[in-house]
Chains A and B, each alone.
Chain A
């Protein structure tokens, strides 16, 4: 993969290009958020680069480092057939200052992608013609793809029916029982730093939280669970 794109970027923008790499064959450049729009315009307008197609924009949340939110842009040139990934980092712990220039004036296809980034991650785009939620409904509070948004926190638009209305049980089992599913190897973002959490571990170490332990509830289904398979595991607790 030719590094021509990255070399040109570095020579034109110098200090604004903070890092580059080509891991897994993808040319990537991390730029400052102030230079975001000018880098994009240069990539589109330069005759040898000619990035005429905006492919994708998304945001990735890295809450353990600041700035926290990384906006990632993929570009493609239909004439030169090369690609580049542009990244920039915005936002502090509470996502203040998570603002970057909109590139809808550079590629009109960026419109909805930026709306989606705003909707799911909360990054605002200066100069966007119509920045409002696209996948979530307007009454939704918060930004779901942030790491600190709990995946199961619903905000229903209409009140759920109760068993009294229905006359029949409405609670159904979640797909996995307490002893099934991937209870190992997933970090519990919500409580990772809690002092009072007796199960909190030193930073950098991951530990599994079984689903029914998260709320401190005893899972009633665990009483009916079959004895766990006798697989070798260091932390096996009896589910009974």
Chain B
């Protein structure tokens, strides 16, 4: 019997293996979205990987052409469904850019606050799911508890936990409730506490570190060439954040940092997301301080905003305005426009083409996780099968967005 600590040559460890084809998905526990990866394996090492998406293609762009501009909001929510408010805000800003409308300050602060809450929910879900897939089930439950707190606030404000459809062209569906600031302060403290507990649990764990460090490395240059944006790009060292590079709403008036990674491995992507939760909390606190407690939330523009109900029932002008907006849709000027914001996964862009009517001619979403998922095959080729799980988890591919 050979002693256990005998050093074996690398060559002796090679087991003869024919290439094996393995199919992961589309229904697979470790697939965040529904994705099918057809792998060609040599032993445990991946020789070729074909990532096939499209299992959640729901025809978002075709559906948008069949309604009005305002009817796109529910569809847009279901794109990146872990941070729906960010999609709502992104789309609303795109249409407002075309209409030439700027919403009142109070609305801008409100949109920022809700958007950052959605971003916190997105990052909590991603990191929690990553931990769960590696076997650490408890931090997932803690992060979901924290996410419930975010959802409670959003439910109080918008009426729904998920898929709020709360954005409107020219404002929001309703003004902030009077307890909004209190709720946020209370919840944020607890959320950060939970995040810290999760970090304590995970970041000193040898197994967790070994599974994430130096796995799925991509350099900044490669990431830019692959059109990556968002936390995945920032983890590779490229400090591009739309909120800092091209500020929209009032992001240039709040103070926050953009976490940037060094190595570009899975651990960096994990850490960048956790740090972004803290930065989002910082942004929300500043926003809540500066958001006025009264004042209009919707812009006073009859071309896009529905009039008050009591006016609709009592005056003819408001009835006609309401009728035209609901039946024909807000008329957006003819032309094309591209507007981009920082979504949960990166640069979320909307390219809108209008023919001057109330129905969109073309709504194109630039999904941030589409190019990121395209880079997956590059990341996993040459690595081992079990590295797919943390790598794919760290990319945060959201099926609704990637497959739109």
Question: Considering only CB atoms, which chain A residue lies closest to B56 in the complex?
Answer: A135
Given contacts A112-B374, A144-B62, A151-B66, A78 and B53 within 8 Å (CB-CB): no
30 A-B pairs (CB sep. < 8 Å): A23-B336, A26-B337, A26-B338, A53-B229, A55-B227, A55-B340, A55-B347, A60-B364, A78-B240, A81-B246, A85-B336, A85-B338, A107-B225, A109-B226, A109-B374, A111-B374, A112-B373, A133-B54, A134-B53, A135-B53, A135-B403, A135-B404, A151-B66, A182-B329, A184-B327, A185-B328, A185-B329, A185-B358, A186-B359, A232-B319
Give bound CA distance, A52 to B59, whole Å: 30
A188-210 with Cβ < 8 A to chain B: 206
Give bound CA distance, A112 to B351, whole Å: 18
Interface size, B (range): 35 or more
B98 sits at the interface (CB 8 A): yes
Cβ–Cβ < 8 Å partners of A182 in chain B: 67-68, 71, 327-329, 359
Cβ–Cβ < 8 Å partners of A52 in chain B: 224-225
**Would you call the interface of chain B mostly helix, strand, loop, or mixed?**
mixed
Give bound CA distance, A112 to B373, whole Å: 9
A95 sits at the interface (CB 8 A): no
Using an 8 Å CB-CB cutoff, how does the interface string of A83-122 with B read, 1 for contact, 0 for none? 1010000000000000000000001111111001000100
Using an 8 Å CB-CB cutoff, how does the interface string of A6-34 with B read, 1 for contact, 0 for none? 00000000000000000111101000000
Give bound CA distance, A91 to B61, whole Å: 21
A residues near B (Cβ < 8 Å) are 23-26, 28, 52-56, 58, 60-61, 72, 74, 78, 81, 83, 85, 107-113, 116, 120, 133-137, 144-145, 151, 182, 184-186, 206, 231-233
B245 sits at the interface (CB 8 A): yes
Give bound CA distance, A151 to B351, whole Å: 20
Cβ–Cβ < 8 Å partners of B328 in chain A: 182, 184-185
B216-249 with Cβ < 8 A to chain A: 224-229, 238, 240, 245-246
Cβ–Cβ < 8 Å partners of A109 in chain B: 225-228, 371, 374
Interface residue from A25, A107, A186, A231 paired with B227 (Cβ < 8 Å)? A107
Cβ–Cβ < 8 Å partners of B335 in chain A: 23-24
Interface residue from A53, A56, A81 paired with B364 (Cβ < 8 Å)? A56
Given contacts A81-B246, A186-B66, A58 and B364 within 8 Å (CB-CB): yes
Cβ–Cβ < 8 Å partners of A56 in chain B: 338, 349, 351, 364, 366
Indicate if the CB atoms of B366 and A55 lie closer than 8 Å: yes
Give bound CA distance, A217 to B61, whole Å: 27
Cβ–Cβ < 8 Å partners of A58 in chain B: 351, 362, 364
Give bound CA distance, A235 to B349, whole Å: 38
B220 → chain A, closest Cβ, in Å?
10
